[in-house]
Amino acid sequence: MKKVLYYLEIIIICAVVWVILNENLSLATIMAGGALGLLSVLITDHLLLLTDYKSTYQLQPTVMIKYVLYLIYQIYFSGFTTIIKIISGKISPGIVEIETELDSDLYISMLANSITLTPGTVTIDKKGRKLVILWLNCVTKDSKKAGKIIKGNFEKILLKG
């Protein structure tokens, strides 16, 4: 029963993403998204994964929603901040190496991609739990301080997941 509920959550998330990508909130679009979500889950579970789907992807839907909302906020906030810094000429680019407390490769990849999506930072390399970041506003070269600034709440949200 838990497996069916988990699949249902994934199918609903896929349907919502499908509706957003199609920019159309019609019954046909919702049904198509649900059908494609079901097909994706079945193909992934039976043909691509060596282990159980749920144990491979352990991101809870509530954590994912909170993460996406925070990511959208950070993209806009950092975008405006970065624009102001560029216009005023107060940028100091640099490369820093930060380390994450995350253990899961999925979570580390999500963190690295979120850092890249946030204006002013680009993840240029990943070595295990260490990320090399090109930072437009490099205020410190200290790995711990830079990590705290760059990772923001991304890591905290994923650690709860």
User: Residue 97's domain spans which residues?
Assistant: 61-160
Let me know whether 90 and 153 are in one domain: yes
Q: How many domains does the chain have?
A: 2
Cα–Cα distance for residue pair 31/51, rounded to 1 Å = 28
pLDDT tens by residue, 28-75 = 999 999 999 889 888 887 787 777 666 666 667 778 888 989 999 999
Res. 8 pLDDT band, cuts 50 70 90: confident
Residues 72 and 140 in one domain: yes
DSSP assignment letter at 45 = I
Q: Are residues 22 and 77 in the same domain?
A: no
Query: Residues 81, 132: one domain?
Result: yes
Is the same domain home to 75 and 107?
A: yes
pLDDT tens-place string over residues 117-135: 999 999 999 998 999 999 9
Per-residue pLDDT, 93 = 92
Residues 86 and 42 in one domain: no
Give pLDDT, residue 83.
93
pTM to 2 decimal places: 0.70
Predicted pLDDT of residue 30: 92
Distance, C-alpha 73 to centroid of its chain: 13
Query: What is residue 133's predicted lDDT score, i.e. its pLDDT?
Result: 95
Distances (CA, A) of 93 to 56, 60, 68, 129: 37, 36, 27, 23
**So what's the pLDDT on residue 4?**
78
Order of strands across the sheet with 94-99? 94-99, 130-135, 121-127
Residues 22, 87 within the same domain: no
* Beta bridge partners of residue 137, listed in sequence order: 92
Beta carbons of 2 and 53 less than 8 angstroms apart: no
The encoded tokens of residue 104 equal 């899961």
**pLDDT for the residue numbered 161:** 66
| Number of C-beta neighbours around residue 33 at 10 A | 22
Same-domain status, 141 and 67: yes
95: left (phi over 0), alpha (psi -120 to 50) or beta: beta
Looking at the structure, do residues 48 and 71 belong to the same domain, yes or no? no
Q: Pick the residue with more confidence: 11 or 54?
A: 11
Specify the range with the lowest mean pLDDT, choosing from 1-5, 67-71, 138-142, 157-161.
1-5
Name the residue among 135, 153, 150 with its Cα closest to residue 70.
Answer: 153
